[in-house]
Amino acid sequence: MKHLRFVFKSFIFLIILTMCLYSVNKILIPKFTSENGWPTTTTFINFYEMEKNTIDVLFLGSSHIASSLIPQVMYDEHGITSYNLGSEQQNMAISYFWLKEALNYQQPKAVILDCYFLELVSMNPLNSEESFTRKSIDYMRWSPTKIEAINEICKLDTQQSKLSYYLPNIRFHSRWKNLEEQDFYSKTYLGSQEKLKGYKILDRRSKVEDYIPISENNSCKPVEMVELMAYYLDEIRQLCSEKNITLILISTPYKYEDAGMNKSISLYAKEYNIPFYSFNEENIYHEINYNFATDNAENSHANINGALKITNYMGKLLKDKYNIHSRFDKQWEDTKGIINGEDFTK
Amino acid sequence: MCNIIYKTKEERTNHSMVYIKFEFYILLIILLIAYYSVPLKHRWYILLGASLGFYSIFSDHIVLLLFVSIISFVFGQVLYKKKSKLLLFVSILSVLLPLLITKHPTGLFGFMKWNNIIAPLGISFFTLQIIAYLVDIYREEILPQNNYLKYLLYVSFFPQIIQGPIPRYKQMGEQLIEGHRFDENNFVKGIHLIIWGFFLKLMIADKAAIVVNTVFDNYVNYSGFYILVAGILYSIQLYTDFQACVCITKGVAQLFSINIIDNFMHPYMSKSIKEFWQRWHISFSSWLRDYIYIPLGGNRKGKLYKYRNLIITFVISGMWHGNGIKYVLWGVLHAVYQIFGEILNPIKIKLYEMIKISKDSIMSKIFEIIITFYCVMIGWIIFRANGAVVGIKMIFSMFNTFNPWIFFDDSLLELGLCVKEWFVLISSILIGVIVSCLQQKTIIRDWILQQHLLLRWIIYIVAIIVIWVFGTYGFGFESKDFIYGGF
């Protein structure tokens, strides 16, 4: 009896201790909002705030897509409900796991996937640095998908610690030196652009005049995709096929080093009968009247002007070609005109 | 060439960290459940299984451990029946040989490269433990253990095998095999010790190590007060690191209601080097006293012999710590300290009389504590430096540069710790000093146990959160091995 009391007391103590340590970890874990760079935290936390089965189109991929497709404009102009799950250096593996996770909450009719990470971006085994993987996974809710993602990530990148995903203090423990007021808010601080449904506004102009889009008759030879990224592209394709989701590949304007990758993606798309829209190709580039100097923020990302052009093009396509119908939804209706109404470009 | 396993330095030194690994504590919980679930008289089997499992996982030398334990077990039986000095010598030599080969290969075989050899885990500790067992049988102080498995448990007991302490058979033998009932107080006190061990390791030792490593690894760039700061911090690091491991070891053993001897008695509160050695690494220094110093004649044959014996004992102490002249030099230095301490003692007393200060006054005590600490610190500089010559150079450069401005112009902030971390380190050291002072008057763990449950829980939770947040571990701070695990 005496021992039973001790076991019971220990159990209660451990519950209290776990709750305290969970709260401490919540404080220590970094929050990424538009105030300190790419709003990955905002993107993922807000995704879970969306009502179930209300998103018709999901955007996935790297920061290229996060700054190129504006869900609110997609709704305002075309009545399409969409969410941008793109994030900083999101590699194909992360896109796959986030798609899998998103399907637990939404039933999208189409997925638009950015193809930037099919080329070699980093020497890291996952093709993007560990910190970016953490940014994407740390705010995923606990589920079998998250556990699978952690296991896969740590298997592929042996430098990462599996335990540190479960106990984030191991990874972010030195953050106590840089804690700010927002870290102590009971509700995670999401920054001033929290209503943009994953879109990141960039307001600079690249002023790059020497960008040349890829001509239709270019003689580039296809280059090999990063093997692991190609594997996860296949996984995404199969998952979309299983769930009857239209997969659309895109490549947003950036100062590419080798046009061969564009060709590789085209060939892949052709092989599996997947649409591929490359805004680096001169036909689309000119069709939307894109100007790299004024519509890109720098060498890699579209600014808000460019994003408006890309979004409108894709919105029209989704409606006309892929039968994504316009619909009324309060979640987008409430923020209607936010891009035009608020001046984010100061 | 010898066929001893070759490994990198990193592989050689990452064993002792296991005591602060999350996985270790998960296994420990399973072990505790198993231990308290089986009948009392069979509980030692769980400890034996755990110890052998632990050694198999973290060392490639389980066969060597079994071999040495079998040899010494047999010698123990024979020595009990036939008292023979020759037999004792042969038994000690056969037990000592693996230690000499693996830890001092250059001394034995000139062609072996020190850097490529791996010393079996805990060999320095279990070898001394076994020697003590054999000598004690020879001296008829103990009876030999007749059950080999029970003896094997004494040799391999998992909480202490990596870095001691070095318990005698009469202290541990029976305790390990008698089987203990669950005792709530013992259990909670064990957890107190583990938490305190983590505090010492992660809040002080590993934080101080950042500054210590910066200075010692780039010693040519530092002189004067930099060396003094690094020397003081290394003294603190070494003590807190070792004490942390002992606390965790004792704490883990206490979870099974097994009491392991204390290895430290506030050594930096010593007023002489002699007293320091009565308080520092007690199980080792008492081993040296009982099995080296006294058999050599101790202080029974006059002063000159006493000094000779002191030097021999401390040279052996130095050699036990590692393969290198610096360890011998460090040992000799401590012997010289003690010899001079004794020679100069009458002068010291006269000096006190002249300036009319009682040798029992607080002032003289503080003065002696500071001087003793300073002398010990000089020794630790040699101990930590990358070689004896480097150590001597560092000591000289400490004296020949006067740069007190480093305490005022942020120079110390360039040694790897920012202001906030310095604040945490210094605060933690102060907490350590306060606890050390309190421990001399009361048993803090008993005091905590007497408090109301709510207060106790608050103390535990605050302590764990403080270590959780401010401790030095995790990404970018791969926790350091326990230093003594490397000896």
SS3 for A110? strand
List the single residue in A with minimal CA-CA distance to B417.
A177
Task: Name every chain B residue with its beta carbon within 8 A of the beta carbon of A17.
Answer: 460-461, 464
Output the six-digit token pair for B211. 């500054």
B50-59 confidence digits (pLDDT tens): 999 999 988 8
Task: Name every chain A residue with its beta carbon within 8 A of the beta carbon of B453.
Answer: 9
Asked if the model's pLDDT at residue B298 lies above 90, the reply is: no
Mean pLDDT, rounded, for B245-269: 94
pLDDT of B296: 93
Of B187, B465, B474, the CB nearest to A170: B474
For residue A190, name the pLDDT band (cuts at 50, 70, 90).
confident
Q: Helix B22-37 and helix B225-255: axis angle, to 10°?
A: 30
Of A2, A6, A177, the CB nearest to B418: A177
B473–A16 CB contact, under 8 Å: no
A226-275 confidence digits (pLDDT tens): 999 999 999 999 999 999 999 999 999 998 877 899 999 999 999 999 99
Helix (H) or strand (E) holding A276: strand A276-278
Say how many CA atoms lie within 13 Å of A42 toward its Cβ: 23
List the single residue in B with minimal CA-CA distance to A131.
B475
pLDDT of B324: 86
Interface with chain A: mutation pick from B419, B453, B468, highest number of A CBs within 10 Å: B468
Share of chain A above pLDDT 70, in %: 98
Interface with chain B: mutation pick from A24, A174, A179, highest number of B CBs within 10 Å: A174
A177–B470 CB contact, under 8 Å: no
Asked if the model's pLDDT at residue B435 lies above 60, the reply is: yes
A16–B461 CB contact, under 8 Å: yes
CA gap B239, B260 in Å, rounded: 18
Interface membership of A2 toward B (CB under 8 Å): yes
Mean pLDDT, rounded, for B245-263: 93
Task: Name every chain A residue with its beta carbon within 8 A of the beta carbon of B420.
Answer: 176-177
Interface membership of B22 toward A (CB under 8 Å): yes
Mean pLDDT, rounded, for B303-308: 92
Q: What is the largest CA-CA distance in chain B?
A: 71
pLDDT of B476: 56
Asked if the model's pLDDT at residue A35 lies above 50, the reply is: yes
Task: Name every chain A residue with its beta carbon within 8 A of the beta carbon of B460.
Answer: 13, 17
With a CB-CB cutoff of 8 Å, which residues 409-438 of chain B face chain A?
418, 420-421
B370-421 confidence digits (pLDDT tens): 999 999 999 999 999 999 999 999 999 999 999 999 999 999 999 999 999 9
List the single residue in B with minimal CA-CA distance to A19.
B461
Interface membership of A6 toward B (CB under 8 Å): yes
CA gap B7, B483 in Å, rounded: 19
Interface membership of B476 toward A (CB under 8 Å): yes
Between CA B431 and CA B442, with CA B436 as vertex, the angle to 5 degrees is: 115
Q: Helix A2-28 and helix B453-470: axis angle, to 10°?
A: 40
CA gap A252, B162 in Å, rounded: 58
Task: Name every chain B residue with its beta carbon within 8 A of the beta carbon of A28.
Answer: 469
B470–A161 CB contact, under 8 Å: no
Asked if the model's pLDDT at residue A222 lies above 50, the reply is: yes
List the single residue in A with minimal CA-CA distance to B185.
A6
Burial of A127 from C-beta contacts in 10 A (0-12 / 13-18 / 19+): buried
- C-alpha distance from A163 to closest chain B C-alpha (Å): 9
Q: Helix B169-177 and helix B148-156: axis angle, to 10°?
A: 110
Mean pLDDT, rounded, for A52-81: 96
Of A3, A21, A170, the CB nearest to B182: A3
Task: Name every chain A residue with its beta carbon within 8 A of the beta carbon of B475.
Answer: 161, 164, 170-174
B470–A176 CB contact, under 8 Å: yes
For residue A116, name the pLDDT band (cuts at 50, 70, 90).
very high
Asked if the model's pLDDT at residue B174 lies above 80, the reply is: yes
Asked if the model's pLDDT at residue B477 lies above 70, the reply is: no
Interface membership of B453 toward A (CB under 8 Å): yes
For residue A118, name the pLDDT band (cuts at 50, 70, 90).
very high
Interface membership of B457 toward A (CB under 8 Å): yes
Between CA B124 and CA B128, with CA B127 as vertex, the angle to 5 degrees is: 85
Mean pLDDT, rounded, for A117-131: 92
For residue A327, name the pLDDT band (cuts at 50, 70, 90).
very high
Interface membership of A16 toward B (CB under 8 Å): yes
Mean pLDDT, rounded, for A310-330: 94
pLDDT of A343: 43
Interface membership of A167 toward B (CB under 8 Å): yes
Task: Name every chain A residue with its beta carbon within 8 A of the beta carbon of B422.
Answer: none
Interface membership of A15 toward B (CB under 8 Å): no
Tell me which residue of A56, A75, A48, A40 sits closest to A335, measured CA to CA: A75
| Mean pLDDT over each residue of chain B, to the nearest integer | 89
Task: Name every chain B residue with its beta carbon within 8 A of the beta carbon of A26.
Answer: none
Interface membership of B471 toward A (CB under 8 Å): yes
Task: Name every chain B residue with its beta carbon within 8 A of the beta carbon of A170.
Answer: 473-475
Asked if the model's pLDDT at residue B2 lies above 80, the reply is: no
For residue B119, name the pLDDT band (cuts at 50, 70, 90).
low
pLDDT of A2: 74
- Would you give the DSSP letter of residue A296? B
pLDDT of B385: 95
For residue B431, name the pLDDT band (cuts at 50, 70, 90).
very high
B181-217 confidence digits (pLDDT tens): 999 999 999 999 999 999 999 999 999 999 999 999 9
- C-alpha distance from B176 to closest chain A C-alpha (Å): 22
Interface membership of B396 toward A (CB under 8 Å): no
Task: Name every chain B residue with its beta carbon within 8 A of the beta carbon of A175.
Answer: none
Sheet containing A246-251, strands listed edge to edge, beginning at the edge strand earlier in sequence: A82-84, A57-60, A110-114, A246-251, A276-278
Mean pLDDT, rounded, for B11-30: 74
pLDDT of B1: 29
B74-93 confidence digits (pLDDT tens): 999 999 999 899 999 999 99
Least confident interval from A37-46, A164-173, B83-92, B349-358: B349-358
Tell me which residue of B96, B266, B247 sits closest to B163, measured CA to CA: B247
| Contacts with A127 (C-beta within 8 Å, 6 or more apart), sequence order | A91, A92, A117, A120, A121, A226, A228, A229
Between CA B205 and CA B210, with CA B208 as vertex, the angle to 5 degrees is: 115
Mean pLDDT, rounded, for A116-138: 92
pLDDT of B442: 87
pLDDT of B475: 65
Interface with chain B: mutation pick from A9, A166, A176, highest number of B CBs within 10 Å: A176
B462-471 confidence digits (pLDDT tens): 999 999 999 9
List the single residue in B with minimal CA-CA distance to A176.
B469
List the single residue in A with minimal CA-CA distance to B420.
A177
Tell me which residue of A147, A111, A121, A68 sits closest to A229, measured CA to CA: A121
Give me the helices (H) in B163-205, please.
169-177, 184-198
